[in-house]
Amino acid sequence: MNIGFIGLGNMGGPMAANLAKAGHNVTGFDTAKVSINGVDIAESATAAVEGADVVITMLPNGDILRSVADQIIPAMRHGATLVDCSTVDVDSARAVAAQAEEAGMLAVDAPVSGGVGGATNGTLTFMAGGSDAAFARAEPLFDIMGQKAVHCGAAGAGQSAKICNNMILGVTMIATCEAFALADKLGLDRQKMFDVVSTSSGYSWSMNAYCPAPGIGPESPADNDYKPGFAADLMLKDLRLSQQAAESADADTPMGQLAQALYARFVEEEDGTGRDFSAMLPRFEKRNREG
């Protein structure tokens, strides 16, 4: 396929490189000057999408996505497919999909999980929203860039799935960090707590696969001085998207709301910027009951 790729940062760059490595003709654009193996770099976003069968976007937020869509949709050929892999608000995802469809194109919102490592290794998970026809057009590319793609429903469903998942992740990581800090103060050995919880009803991905305690469980960012696998800043972004969606849908999400407030304090007022989201554990270690 001829593929246009807009947004060649830490995630988009490796994704575009994997598509090129698989034999597709990839033309990319980014506002920063970049060089990606196998990818032709265009002078503008509109130049990158001209004649493309599929255009993929990987952008920071909904406002930028809407702005880029306004530029590229008029330049895309009729019948092409727009695949947005950004993590943005549900309303923006739906608006851009409607804009593309009105212009005679197929559209998929397909945010990812798996981080930079998943993008580099082609092991991402895609959560896709859009028509059956749009998903079918994008699926072969998902197979190259990732290891799993789930068609979640109509436009916006991919974003909905991503933010619901990450709201759970934020809440469970906080609870896991709180539990380790409490165990310390109760004199309970961390390894013993892990051995019990990881095989009991407290089991979670945060505990078993991404343990925030150094030296406990499988290797995780905690064993690398909390250098980000998934940055606290990005968790805060996703929690804010979850609460924006909850407000729009009139949904009661008190734990999600509290998780957003805690990560906001951690990132904006404490030392969370640039650290992994599991660095909540050393934060709780230093705090007492009164904060």
In terms of Cβ atoms closer than 10 Å to its own Cβ (0-12, 13-18, 19+), residue 236 is: buried
Instruction: Indicate the residue type of 138.
Output: A
Cβ pair 3, 25 in contact under 8 A: yes
Q: How far apart are CA 185 and CA 285, in angstroms?
A: 9
Cβ pair 237, 87 in contact under 8 A: yes
- 3-state DSSP call for residue 276? strand
Q: How far apart are CA 117 and CA 119, in angstroms?
A: 5
Q: How far apart are CA 71 and CA 183, in angstroms?
A: 54
Provide CB contacts within 8 A for 253, sequence distance 6+. Answer: 167, 242, 243, 246
Question: Residue 29's closest CA among 4, 64, 66?
Answer: 4
- Concerning whether 33 is annotated as a catalytic residue, the answer is no
Distances from the Cα of 271 to the Cαs of 1, 79, 173, 249, in angstroms?
45, 48, 17, 33
Active site residue: 21, 33, 148, 162, which one? 162
**Token pair listed for 22:** 């698989």
Q: How many other β-carbons are positioned within 10 Å of the β-carbon of residue 23?
A: 10
Residues marked as catalytic: 162
